[in-house]
């Protein structure tokens, strides 16, 4: 498949792995956070982690929109779905996220709530047109990649004067989350950031310049394929070695400096910033999420149905919060692999296939864990990995 297969070429992978091995300075750790959940998933699924030198440690960030969706918001969706006459349309990723009272959307469905899986927001619009006697609510989640389609759908709903369509909006913003990670009091030592692929096609590379400037942190925007990731990690290693802190773009074939301005304008027309928003694991972050503008108020499910946000704490032993913040790894959590498994997830990191816990459980348990990223303990020497001490070169 064009633009896919070439970027997964194993020969090039081996050469990049060698180049990385040559580039890292012995005895020096390189701690990079890949912000985007899609990257977390790709690293695990293609086994890229095996091809990185042991000095490079990838820390998973909170770029998984399902993982950061607060329990209270899912409770809201479940409550709506359980009302007679309501059809709740949701992307498949959200169905199994555990919420309060041992419920999830899929369990609520088994109890009689009308929950439908859609691949696209347009499917939810189609449901509304097909069932004029029912209230169709679309559970909108996602970072800047997924927000423009919701904006287009709302403009369509306004134009068609749909009377039975609304959106429960949980769209969140990448830069705000990055600030929260970098500003947190339990500081996670980081040497660089791998910037998200598809979010950046929308927002461009410009928003990341503040991270390089204010935090002296190298940032490389990486494409979605495994070769893109290896190249981006190499570029970060080179920046660290050379003492640079710049925003570089590896994903030049799809990302520009200004991004997709048409999409940005559409989003701006439909949405405005919330004062703050509670992120699962990250607490309240100011100006980090979107809600519908007054012109679209009748499509706002929270207003239409008089819903109130409730803050619901995670299971006390669930480490999703620290894991999302990069302070802990899945194996540090007592619940991981015991009570909490993909079949019976206790927290969002295990439910979403992009979550650090799910990725590790599904793809990475064969690898012995690297040293824990306990922020209070300075790392002495390179993290050890039982699986490989050298990158696997033929």
Partner 1 sequence: MSPAKPGYVRPLDLKQGRIDLTHGAGGRASHQLVQEVFHPAFARTWTHLQHQNGQPWQPGSDDGTVLPMPDHLPAGHRLVLSTDAHVVSPLFFPGGDIGQLAVHGTVNDLAMMGATPLYLTASFILEEGLPLGDLVRITRSMADAACEAGVAIVTGDTKVVERGKGDGAYISTAGLGWVAPGVRLSGTNAQVGDAIVLSGPIGEHGLAVLSQREGLQFDSPITSDTAPLNGLVKAMLGSGARLRVLRDPTRGGVATSLNEIAAASGVGMMLDEAAIPLPPAVQGASELMGLDPLYLANEGKLLALCHPDDVNTLLTTMRAHPLGGQACCIGTVTEDPHHFVQMRTAFGGCRMLDWLMGDPLPRIC
Partner 2 sequence: MCLALPARVISLDATGQSGQVDLGGVRKAVSFALLDEVVVGDHVIVHVGYALSRLDPDEAAQTLALFADLAAHHAQHVQGSSEGGA
Give residues in contact with partner 1 (CB under 8 A).
1, 4, 8, 10, 13-14, 17, 37-38, 41, 44-51, 64-66, 91-93, 95-96, 106, 117, 119, 142, 146, 226, 341-343, 352-354, 361-367, 387, 392
CA dihedral 146, 152, 155, 159 (to 10 degrees): -140
Place of tokens 């980090």: 288
| CA atoms of 148 and 162, how far apart (whole Å) | 19
CB of 246 to partner 1, least distance (A): 28
Span between the terminal Cα atoms of the chain, in Å: 26
Residues 149 and 92: beta-carbon distance below 8 Å: no
146 is an interface residue for partner 2 by CB under 8 A: yes
91 is an interface residue for partner 2 by CB under 8 A: yes
* Count, residues in the chain: 394
CB of 305 to partner 2, least distance (A): 24
201 is an interface residue for partner 2 by CB under 8 A: yes
121 is an interface residue for partner 2 by CB under 8 A: yes
159 is an interface residue for partner 2 by CB under 8 A: no
205 binds, among partner 2, partner 1, none (CB under 5 to 8 A by kind): none
Choosing from 50, 122, 269, 314, the residue that interacts with partner 2 (CB under 8 A) is 122
| CA atoms of 195 and 223, how far apart (whole Å) | 9
DSSP structure class, residue 122:
H
> How deeply is 257 buried, as exposed, middle or buried, from its count of CB atoms within 10 A (0-12, 13-18, 19+)?
exposed
Choosing from 34, 191, 228, 248, the residue that interacts with partner 2 (CB under 8 A) is 228
Choosing from 110, 120, 130, 368, the residue that interacts with partner 2 (CB under 8 A) is 120
| CA atoms of 325 and 182, how far apart (whole Å) | 9
47 binds, among partner 2, partner 1, none (CB under 5 to 8 A by kind): partner 1
Pick from 139, 146, 142: nearest CA to 165: 139
Q: What residues contact 233, with CB distance under 8 A and at least 6 apart?
A: 20, 32, 52, 56, 58, 194, 220, 222
253 is an interface residue for partner 2 by CB under 8 A: yes
176 is an interface residue for partner 2 by CB under 8 A: no
| CA atoms of 193 and 34, how far apart (whole Å) | 6
Neighbours of 246 (CB within 10 A): 15
Residues 389 and 370: beta-carbon distance below 8 Å: no
- Written as six digits, the tokens of 23 are 């580039």
198 is an interface residue for partner 2 by CB under 8 A: yes
266 binds, among partner 1, partner 2, none (CB under 5 to 8 A by kind): partner 2
Half-sphere exposure of 269 (CA within 13 A, CB side): 16
21 binds, among partner 2, partner 1, none (CB under 5 to 8 A by kind): partner 2
CB of 360 to partner 1, least distance (A): 9
CB of 187 to partner 1, least distance (A): 28
Pick from 262, 91, 265, 267: nearest CA to 168: 91
Q: Which stretch binds partner 2 (CB under 8 A): 162-170, 249-257, 281-289, 316-324?
A: 249-257
Whose Cβ is closer to partner 1: residue 51's or residue 323's? 51
Q: Which stretch binds partner 2 (CB under 8 A): 119-127, 180-188, 290-298, 311-319?
A: 119-127
Q: Which stretch binds partner 2 (CB under 8 A): 103-111, 246-254, 327-335, 377-385?
A: 246-254
φ/ψ of residue 337, rounded to 5: 75, -5
Residues 60-79 close enough to bind partner 2 by CB under 8 A: 63-65
Residues contributing to the site for partner 2 (CB under 8 A): 1-4, 6-7, 9, 11-12, 15-16, 18-19, 21-22, 36-38, 63-65, 91, 119-123, 142-143, 145-146, 148-149, 152, 196-199, 201-202, 223-224, 227-228, 231, 250, 252-255, 260, 262-263, 266, 354, 390, 393
């Amino acid at each position: 498949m064009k633009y896919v297969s070439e970027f997964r070429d194993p020969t090039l992978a081996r050469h990049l792995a060698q180049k990385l091995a040559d580039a890292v300075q012995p005895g020096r750790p390189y701690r990079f956070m890949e912000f985007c959940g899609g990257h977390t998933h790709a690293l695990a699924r293609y086994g890229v982690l095996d091809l990185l030198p042991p000095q490079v440690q990838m820390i998973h960030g909170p770029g998984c929109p399902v993982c950061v969706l607060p329990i209270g918001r899912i409770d809201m969706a479940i409550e709506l779905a359980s009302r007679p006459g309501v059809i709740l349309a949701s992307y498949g990723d959200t169905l199994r996220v555990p919420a309060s009272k041992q419920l999830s959307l899929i369990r609520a469905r088994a109890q009689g709530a009308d929950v439908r899986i859609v691949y696209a927001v347009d499917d939810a619009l189609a449901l509304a047109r097909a069932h004029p006697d029912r209230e169709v609510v679309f559970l909108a989640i996602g970072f800047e990649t997924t927000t423009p389609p919701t904006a287009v759908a709302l403009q369509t709903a306004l134009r068609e004067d749909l009377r039975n369509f609304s959106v429960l909006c949980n769209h969140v913003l990448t830069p705000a989350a990055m600030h929260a990670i970098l500003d947190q009091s339990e500081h996670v030592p980081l040497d660089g950031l791998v910037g998200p692929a598809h979010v950046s096609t929308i927002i461009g590379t410009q928003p990341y310049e503040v991270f390089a400037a204010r935090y002296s942190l190298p940032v490389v925007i990486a494409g979605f394929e495994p070769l893109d990731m290896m190249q981006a990690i190499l570029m970060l290693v080179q920046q660290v070695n050379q003492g640079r802190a710049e925003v570089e773009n590896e994903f030049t074939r799809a990302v520009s400096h200004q991004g997709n301005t048409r999409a940005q304008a559409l989003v701006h027309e439909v949405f405005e910033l919330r004062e703050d928003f509670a992120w699962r694991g990250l607490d309240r972050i100011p100006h980090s999420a979107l809600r519908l503008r007054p012109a679209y108020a009748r499509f706002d499910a929270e207003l239409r149905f008089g819903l109130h946000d409730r803050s619901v704490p995670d299971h006390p032993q669930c480490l999703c919060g620290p894991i999302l913040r990069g302070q802990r790894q899945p194996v540090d959590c007592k619940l991981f692999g015991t009570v909490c498994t993909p079949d019976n997830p206790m927290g969002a990191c295990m439910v979403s296939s992009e979550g650090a816990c799910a990725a590790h459980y599904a793809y990475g348990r064969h690898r012995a864990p690297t040293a824990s990223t306990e922020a209070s303990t300075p790392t002495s020497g390179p993290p050890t990995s039982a699986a490989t001490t050298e990158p696997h070169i033929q």
